[in-house]
Amino acid sequence: MKKENKKKMDRDLRKEQYESSDRTGRLIINFRNINHTMRALYEGKGSQKRILIVLLETGEITQRVLTERLGIQPGSASEVLAKLEHAGLIVRRPSDEDRRTTNVSLTEIGRE
């Protein structure tokens, strides 16, 4: 009888481990989907608006600090900033202190 109980307990334990692993896998997939959705929101057109708001609040800011503050990827930020610059809403220029650093600020049109 003890041997049968042990086998049943082993089966139950394996089943619980499988179910736990399955739930963990589903959680990981859900988190990836949420991450993908959030990136699409924050790195899409919404980023343009958020960048303009930050620049309105801060005046001039380095591109690196701007991307860190908004939590977007530097490559995505460069792409969005290029569109805003092309639209005449912002200007990017090298820093006077460190030519490797790019400062970003609003134009008159961007402030309106």
Residue 42's CB is within 10 A of a number of other CB atoms, namely 15
C-alpha to C-alpha distances, 68 to 61, 74, 83, nearest whole angstrom: 11, 9, 19
Give the position of tokens 């692993």.
21
Q: What is the pLDDT of residues 77-108, one digit of tens each?
A: 999 999 999 999 999 999 888 889 999 999 99
pTM of the entire predicted model: 0.58
Greater model confidence, 85 or 15: 85
User: What is the pLDDT, as a whole number, of residue 101?
Assistant: 93
User: What is the pLDDT, as a whole number, of residue 11?
Assistant: 83
User: What is the pLDDT, as a whole number, of residue 41?
Assistant: 54
Q: What is the pLDDT of residues 20-63, one digit of tens each?
A: 888 888 888 888 888 776 665 555 567 888 899 999 999 999 99
C-alpha to C-alpha distance for 97 and 8, rounded to whole angstroms: 72
